[in-house]
Amino acid sequence: MRTLEGVLVRHPFFAGMDPRFLQSAVGCAANVRFAAGELIVREGQPADHFYLIRAGRIALETPFLGRGGLTVQTLGDGDILGWSWLVPPYNWRFDARAIETTRAIGFDGKCLRGKCERDHEFGYEMQKRVIAVLGEYLDATRFRLLDVYADAID
């Protein structure tokens, strides 16, 4: 049987993290599962969780006038869902919906924030990792926009 700590060590987000920090994070973690089509988070609601995707796919959506949600990014194995738990005012900036059955490790955002406040080294490590992921997501968004506008110009 795998432990949560063993799963975290193998996830790209936590790869190479100091074992002391990993122990702090594990205390806020639990296995979660989302059914296909399930709305996981809603834009504007309190961002009180953070997820490491182990298997499955999740669509990040933004409301699109008269058309429901427009998928702006799809996340899968090895990705993370959520950075808003770390950034005031701690509200989700998008909707997220499971495209297929998805297994993840869910973290209690309030628990993690409290540990980050008490241990600034841990907090700094978490911020560095979240910011690195945000940079990757921004790059992916930029490339998608280039594709969209390149098609419009042709």
Domain CATH for 123: 2.60.120.10
Of residues 65 and 118, more confidence is placed in: 118
| Residue ranges making up the domain that contains 138 | 4-151
pTM for the model stands at: 0.86
Confidence of residue 1 (pLDDT cuts 50, 70, 90): very low
pLDDT on residue 135 = 85
> For residue range 21-35, what is the model confidence (pLDDT) as tens digits?
999 999 999 999 999
The DSSP bridge pattern shows strands 49-55 and 80-81 to be antiparallel
* pLDDT over 60 (residue 109): yes
Per-residue pLDDT averaged across 144-151, rounded?
67
pLDDT on residue 149 = 66
Among 14-28, 44-58, 65-79, 131-145, the minimum mean pLDDT is found in 131-145
pLDDT on residue 122 = 97
Q: Which amino acid is at 40?
A: I
What is the rounded average pLDDT for all residues in the chain? 89
Query: Could you give the number of structural domains in the chain?
Result: 1
pLDDT on residue 136 = 83
Confidence of residue 2 (pLDDT cuts 50, 70, 90): low
Instruction: Tell me which DSSP letter residue 33 carries.
Output: E
Helix (H) or strand (E) holding 127: helix 120-153
DSSP string spanning 34-72? E-TT-EEE-TTSB--EEEEEEES-EEEEEEETTTEEEEE
* pLDDT over 60 (residue 114): yes
Per-residue pLDDT averaged across 55-66, rounded?
87
